[in-house]
Amino acid sequence: SIEVPEAAAPDVGIELFQLPWTSVAQECETTLAPAGIAWVLLSPAQEHIAADEWWASYQPVSYQLASRLGTRDEFADMVQRCNAAGVAVIADAVINHMTGQSEPGVGYAGAAYAHYDYPDLYAESDFHHCGLTATDDIQLYKNREQVQNCELVNLADLDTASPTVQATIVAYLKDLISLGVSGFRIDAAKHIPATDVEAIVSQLPQGTRIMSEVIRGAGEPITPDEYVTFGEVFEFTYARELTPPLENGVFTDPVLSDDRPQQVSSEAAIVFVDNHDTERGEANVTARDPQLYVIANALMLADDYGTPVLYSGYAFTDRDAGAPTDADGRVLEASCADAIGPTADLADGERTCVQSWPAIRGMLAFRAIAGEVPRMPGVDSGDAYGFEREGRGVIAVNVGDDMQRIEVPTTMPDGAYCDVITGGADAAVDGGCAGREYSISSGIASFDLDPGAAAAIHLGSRR
Ligand code: AAO
């Protein structure tokens, strides 16, 4: 018999986009913890403008925890329950700006505001008025001063160098930490000088996890690399390199390439196939194409670069459409406990529930067994591609329109193995396989793959 290595501690996160706190708590207990997901990224928790679009969340009106996603009590209860289940909570910190509303208004939870006036929080002098463009809006991403001092799509831009602004932001973040939050996604971090983010972060308890959203843009002066001295960054280049081969069948092997020059170090990188912005924008592979989406996520989870964050959103035809709400505008609860996707035709507003897909759960189990061993050079065979995590697991995918055979050299023991893509986390059952079966013989793992199929086997999935 062969020895199965101990499963590595979970490291993968998941963005539960626009999911109410009561449902997040339930997911932590019923789907995330059982799947071996380490942390959950929330949508913003603070009070926002009263509007139906999902992006209302990104226009803060006050720092009360009162939003369409739930109350302060519900938030506090959710964080406790997630922590108790072993799932850390990462809050989305919208601290670059307040609203983009030119007219005064009243927020979702009743706070009155004007564009540059948020009573008890910020006044006119706390905001930038860059004076560099006609509208004070960012026009040129190649200009650092514009990106960091002008307004992102009319959103009132906080002067984050100001000590009083920093103190207000720090108090808000500390309030979230006091409720048990482990860290923050820093929204629009590119628009906040790295030195300001660092000054804010340095006032938080040590060990607070920081993930800066800095979209790497061609020819732009501000890069994610400026933000890695005090935390992690979302590495947008990863999906841009991962997904085109899934459409054109031309794979370039990252192991054989020059050290992934367009990417931050593996320790600093949060990687993803898509997120709530890119599924409405640049992403060419999303849950709308379930086969390719499984392949992309499987390759990411099998990789030895970065910390993956999965994305669990909802179907839409209108990119602005918010998640379904009740008459008061509260987002409806949803559960993924019984979802066994992927499903090609979800109705608008229905959740994708990737955390419950057997293929995703199977790959999380694969990743736990692969642990820290390196990714070996890939094998190309027509429109199929595969690679080994040395001695621990092998993955192979077929992105073409024809059946494809691919043979991947491996140091795993010869024998019969159960596929975790079709069989899920518990692929090997009662001497048989829950899904498909593949074999390794004379150090070669062989896969006959249908068009659009993926397969993955690991030391723990031996039949
Ligand atoms: C809404 C309305 C606006 C209105 C505004 C105020 O849509 O018309 O003016 O309210 O009333 C979200 C929504 C916005 C929404 C906003 C506020 O997406 O539509 O505006 O809430 O409600 C930039 C930032 C990045 C930001 C991204 C959307 O750098 O930080 O824009 N993402 C975060 C959130 C996002 C949120 C906000 C920030 C605001 O994740 O959900 O907005 O809190 C280039 C640059 C990027 C730049 C994009 C913008 O990217 O590099 O930095 O992101 O352009 O288009 C290729 C290129 C790449 C390029 C990319 C674009 O890949 O290589 O360089 O394409 O996709």
0.85 surpassed by complex ipTM? yes
Contact 262, 301 (CB under 8 A): no
Give the CA distances from residue 54 to residues 190, 235, 262, in Å, rounded to whole numbers and listed in that order: 21, 23, 31
Residue 367 has pLDDT above 80, yes or no: yes
- What's the whole-number average pLDDT of the chain? 97
Give yes or no: 213 in active site.
Answer: yes
Closest CA to 79 of 69, 89, 93: 89
The sheet carrying 393-398 orders its strands as 379-381, 384-389, 393-398, 454-458
| Catalytic residue selected from 74, 157, 187, 383 | 187
Residue 431 has pLDDT above 90, yes or no: no
Which DSSP state fits 15?
E
Using CB atoms within 10 A of its CB, is residue 103 exposed (0-12), middle (13-18) or buried (19+)?
Answer: exposed
Q: What are phi and psi of 41, to 5 degrees?
A: -100, 120
Q: What are phi and psi of 144, to 5 degrees?
A: -55, -45
Pocket around ligand 1 at a 6 A CB cut-off = 55, 58-59, 94, 100, 141, 152-155, 187-188, 190, 213, 215, 217-218, 220, 276-277, 281-282
Q: How confident is the model at residue 262 (pLDDT cuts 50, 70, 90)?
A: confident
| Catalytic residue selected from 213, 303, 388, 419 | 213
Model pLDDT for residues 215-243, shown as the tens digit of each residue: 999 999 999 999 999 999 999 999 999 99
pLDDT computed for residue 258 by the predictor: 67
User: What does the block give as tokens for 389?
Assistant: 């995590």
**Which segments of the chain belong to CATH 3.20.20.80?**
13-234+314-351
Give yes or no: 47 in active site.
Answer: no
Residues contacting 111, CB < 8 A, separation 6+: 47, 61, 62, 64, 118, 119
Residue 203 has pLDDT above 70, yes or no: yes
Give the CA distances from residue 410 to residues 146, 163, 173, 254, in Å, rounded to whole numbers and listed in that order: 51, 57, 47, 18
Provide CATH code, domain 379-461: 2.60.40.1180
> For residues 396 and 455, what is the distance between their CA atoms, to the nearest angstrom?
5
Q: Per-residue pLDDT averaged across 273-300, rounded?
A: 97
> For residues 395 and 419, what is the distance between their CA atoms, to the nearest angstrom?
9
**Which segments of the chain belong to CATH 2.60.40.1180?**
379-461
Contact 273, 243 (CB under 8 A): yes
**pLDDT cut 70: percent of the chain above it:** 99
Give the CA distances from residue 159 to residues 29, 132, 150, in Å, rounded to whole numbers and listed in that order: 40, 15, 10
Q: Per-residue pLDDT averaged across 119-126, rounded?
A: 98
- Of the CATH numbers 1.20.120.1150, 3.20.20.80, 3.40.50.300, 3.30.470.20, which one belongs to the domain with range 13-234+314-351? 3.20.20.80
Q: Per-residue pLDDT averaged across 165-181, rounded?
A: 98
The sheet carrying 404-409 orders its strands as 404-409, 444-449, 437-441, 415-418
pLDDT computed for residue 178 by the predictor: 98
CA of 153 to the centre of ligand 1 (A): 8
Q: Per-residue pLDDT averaged across 265-290, rounded?
A: 97
Residue in the block written with tokens 């192991």: 255
Closest CA to 124 of 156, 102, 146, 149: 156
Model pLDDT for residues 372-422, shown as the tens digit of each residue: 999 999 999 999 999 999 999 999 999 999 999 999 999 999 999 999 999
Give the CA distances from residue 228 to residues 11, 142, 223, 277, 372, in Å, rounded to whole numbers and listed in that order: 18, 21, 10, 22, 22
pLDDT computed for residue 244 by the predictor: 95
Closest CA to 223 of 254, 184, 189, 200: 189
pLDDT computed for residue 102 by the predictor: 97
Residue 446 has pLDDT above 90, yes or no: yes
Using CB atoms within 10 A of its CB, is residue 361 exposed (0-12), middle (13-18) or buried (19+)?
Answer: buried
Closest ligand 1 atom number to CA of residue 282: 66
- Name the CA radius of gyration of the chain, rounded: 23
> For residues 122 and 432, what is the distance between their CA atoms, to the nearest angstrom?
64
| Omega within 30 of 0 (cis) for the link into 342 | yes
